[in-house]
Amino acid sequence: MGGQTTYGLNAYVVSRVTGVVTLLSDPIRGGSAPAISGDGAFVTHASGSDVYLWRRGGGTHRLTHGNASSVTPAISSDGSTVGFTSSASDLSPADTNGNAALFRWDRSTATVTRLTDADSPFTSLPSVSAGGTHIAFSSTAGNVVAGDGPGTGDVFVWDRSGGMMGSNWAV
């Protein structure tokens, strides 16, 4: 990258039109798990306790700065919503259990909202619907929806209009 020294994993975007390669992540801290919006205008990635959003023509902006790891960001096709998991306790005032929770960042309000209060450290792999109205994720927690037991991996869906929905599918 033009003499730039980078360490570890980094996130890049490549223009198929111009062939230009752009480093999105901090070259020292790195970046992982990049996800791109449907039109390529937005890319999100994680780096340690932070989640970032790159916008074509607008640069990279930090969405979160937590006191613990934030991972596996996913972005809606239209770039309006980023879903991610984090074990940080300072992203939501009510989050005190130290377990990974599912969070949603909304571009229209620039706010982060905690969607789960899991009793398990294994909540991960969010997938965001095209318009950002649904976020699917997996969790071994037993308190995501009523009637679910701990220890077995399940797939859940958060719905912007109705909250959390469970599933009968084992992961």
Domains in the chain with CATH codes: 33-165 (2.120.10.30)
pLDDT at 151: 67
Mean pLDDT per 10-residue interval, the chain, length 171 residues: 57 85 73 86 89 88 88 94 90 78 92 79 84 88 69 80 65 41
Strands 134-139 and 154-159, by their bridges, are antiparallel
pLDDT at 82: 96
SS3 sequence of the chain: CCCCCCCCCCCEEECCCCCCEEECCECCCECEEEEECCCCCEEEEEECCEEEEEECCCEEEEEEECCCCEEEEEECCCCCEEEEEECCCCCCCCCCCCCCEEEEEECCCCEEEECCCCCCCCEEEEEECCCCCEEEEEECCCCCCCCCCCCCCEEEEEECCCEEECCCCEC
> Which of 122, 119, 113, 162 is closest to 144 using CA atoms?
119
pLDDT at 170: 44
pLDDT at 171: 41
Structure tokens at 136: 């699917």
Go through 10-30 and write b for each residue having 16 or more CB atoms within 10 A of its CB, e for each that does not: bbbbeeeeeeeeebbbbeeeb
pLDDT at 116: 81
pLDDT at 28: 58
Place of tokens 């992203």: 91
